[in-house]
Structure 1
């Protein structure tokens, strides 16, 4: 025990993790359970081998948001959900088909698990999904009374069905379930049935197209239990959407505050044009969402690298706002002689410890055009690029200094 642990005791997060571990053991779990503070995870081990991971961020946020009188029941529900892996999923798809559902999540939901497995040298995580714009995914799950179970490629192979087939059946099951649509001022449609599938109802395209909207449908899913839809040409509706995003973005189990627009039956990531009076607010939520995902990814990677002895620097995703215009830019720093992982940002600053200030600054597109061969795309989300070599002096000169971000 460290000095500060002795003086002040464990943190609230540590106490929560201990409460949950105690409940899981009392419920009969025989695997070894270890709390990893840096990543805020419980890891399960069997015969010395890792046998499961439980990320605690969302559970803890939900635990803190409810009344103290309800927390005991919440811990019981969380325990049942974490132990739901013991329940067998039918091997015959005909026995399982009525309980498959679709979910919509941030791509970070799966991709951070994949990235962690990659750097730990574990077996590849094969969780199939469909892109929903740039930042969201849709995936099939098996619905259990206490939780939902992700469906991996191995289970699809056992069932003998494709991702497309199971998603079509999952969407039909979701459509057959009752849900409530609220209408505000004949401008905004809100789905909040409380069954953890409201965000996924953006996949019910025929229902979305029935909404009476000005322009194309624009949707945002701030968390699992809410879906907001307005028209792309309805400024009042878009303003109402922004107000609801602001109210719900800090709720437990967040997804994304970045909207998507329905074009020819497909959802595409959307922001209004920069000339739009609401552009700045939408842009703020876009950056806020990405900043949260990058911070979570950075914390995970730094914890893995420390445990695995990997010498890689995880660069920060940083946002600044110009005082005169209110415009928001994001940037990262690429430093000479540092093996690192860069986030994808609006600008890249180039630093040399032997020289004062930044030696170059350029937009991401310009960096890709001039030194793209030095960027190794990890093909993950949020995007990361590995760099082990610094640009040459000739390339630095070509990159120049972009006055919008400073020299």
Structure 2
């Protein structure tokens, strides 16, 4: 250990992994453990992994005197107790979890990166454009997201299990909200299921009245606005951004309203609020695309595939609003992210690259959509482009 390590409040990812593995040993875990630095996780045998991103975030955010408590809170990740064979024995521990759809992509790529990892078909349903509804088996020492294989073994349908899980969530604890202002409320269960309570419309209405707007920016926070006025929606967005900055574990960057007892996406009528909401969504997409790019490049390297994964880039316009851009380069087989604009890079007669202009995505799609093949399995979406469009057809030279 160098002298600087003694004064460094934030351990490096590798040092943090060593801290975690030592703590696991001290708590009695005697199985294999290996630090996978490229994916920032600890691999335990063939199919068990502990992802360290959220653990590391909470550890670094905590005061030094509280870091042992963070380690203790996460120690259940290394307890490999079995899920009951009987559904009757398990049903009381089922709970619903809402997760960003990007959460699923790491699981999809895992078997491609490690032949020893079995592909998992999660017990899940689409919830919104950026969020999926999954099921978890939850005890004091174990929280495991379930697959369809487990439901099949129990002989229960996804719909039946989901209904039971939501009833269990309703029975967990009494209402716990902090009133931030006369019209703003923040959940305060802090039990990792705050965001899941978006599924409980009756609870939301009791707290925030007949026309609430909700956000679930993180796993540990549901935010409510009792009205839809401009000032209140801007306050809701500010609170959502603060929750993400402080807590991590992003879930959804949508606003929700409640129709016939269901949470549905809501777009603010006020254009300033709508623009700020769209900016938060672009920032979230930039993070998701960056993670996806890293995973795709690892898979391509392993498979020997020469396929460029384009970057999702954000810029500010003259109006200070964000817009996204990706580059489509002549002669390059690529996967493009869905962006607001596409920048074209052509080749001159000498074989040198040159900027050919920037166009809105919709205009490009209308003229050259036949060259853009959507990958049906990708989230966020990507488009395979093998051929370069005729620039003249796009009004470019």
**TM-score > 0.5 by shorter chain:** yes
CA distance in 2, matches of 1:68, 1:185: 32
Q: Is contact 1:336-1:351 (8 Å) kept?
A: yes
Structure 2: any 5+ residue segments left out of the alignment? Answer: 1-7
Q: 1:311 to 1:260 in 2, by over 3 A?
A: farther
Q: CA deviation at 1:101?
A: 0.6
Q: 1:184 to 1:73 in 2, by over 3 A?
A: closer
Which region of structure 1 is more displaced relative to structure 2, 168-177 or 226-235?
226-235
Match of 1:158 among 148, 153, 157: 153
Structure 1 match to 2:5: none
Structure 1 match to 2:38: 38
TM-score norm. by structure 2 comes to: 0.86
Matches within 5 A, 1:38-117: 38-45=38-45, 50-78=46-74, 80-84=75-79, 86-117=80-111
Q: CA deviation at 1:168?
A: 0.6
1:38 partner SS: helix
CA shift digits 1:335-361 (9 cap, x unpaired): 233333222111222323535533354
1:278 partner SS: helix
Q: 1:169 to 1:352 in 2, by over 3 A?
A: same
> How much is the aligned-residue C-alpha RMSD, in angstroms?
2.8
Q: Is contact 2:254-2:277 (8 Å) kept?
A: yes
Q: Is contact 1:132-1:267 (8 Å) kept?
A: no
Structure 2 match to 1:253: 249
CA distance in 1, matches of 2:285, 2:266: 14
Confirm whether residue 320 of structure 1 aligns to residue 315 of structure 2.
Answer: yes
Structure 2 match to 1:227: 222
Q: CA deviation at 1:267?
A: 3.1
Match of 1:287 among 275, 282, 287: 282
Structure 2 match to 1:348: 342
Structure 2 match to 1:337: 331
CA shift digits 1:227-274 (9 cap, x unpaired): 01225622232122122123211213232343233344443334424x
Q: 1:182 to 1:76 in 2, by over 3 A?
A: closer
Matches within 5 A, 1:166-245: 166-178=161-173, 179-213=175-209, 216-231=211-226, 233-245=228-240
CA distance in 1, matches of 2:166, 2:227: 25
TM-score norm. by structure 1 comes to: 0.84
Q: CA deviation at 1:379?
A: 2.1
Q: Is contact 1:262-1:268 (8 Å) kept?
A: yes
Q: CA deviation at 1:212?
A: 4.4
Q: CA deviation at 1:123?
A: 4.2
Q: CA deviation at 1:309?
A: 4.0
Q: CA deviation at 1:108?
A: 1.1
Q: Is contact 1:361-1:399 (8 Å) kept?
A: no
Displaced runs of 4 or more, over 6 A: none
Q: CA deviation at 1:118?
A: 4.6
Q: Is contact 2:375-2:383 (8 Å) kept?
A: yes
Match of 1:380 among 369, 378, 381: 378
Q: Is contact 2:333-2:387 (8 Å) kept?
A: no
CA distance in 2, matches of 1:282, 1:291: 14
Q: Is contact 1:223-1:252 (8 Å) kept?
A: yes
Q: Is contact 2:255-2:265 (8 Å) kept?
A: yes
Structure 1: any 5+ residue segments left out of the alignment? Answer: 1-7, 402-406
Q: 1:13 to 1:106 in 2, by over 3 A?
A: same
Q: Is contact 1:249-1:257 (8 Å) kept?
A: no
Aligned residues: 383
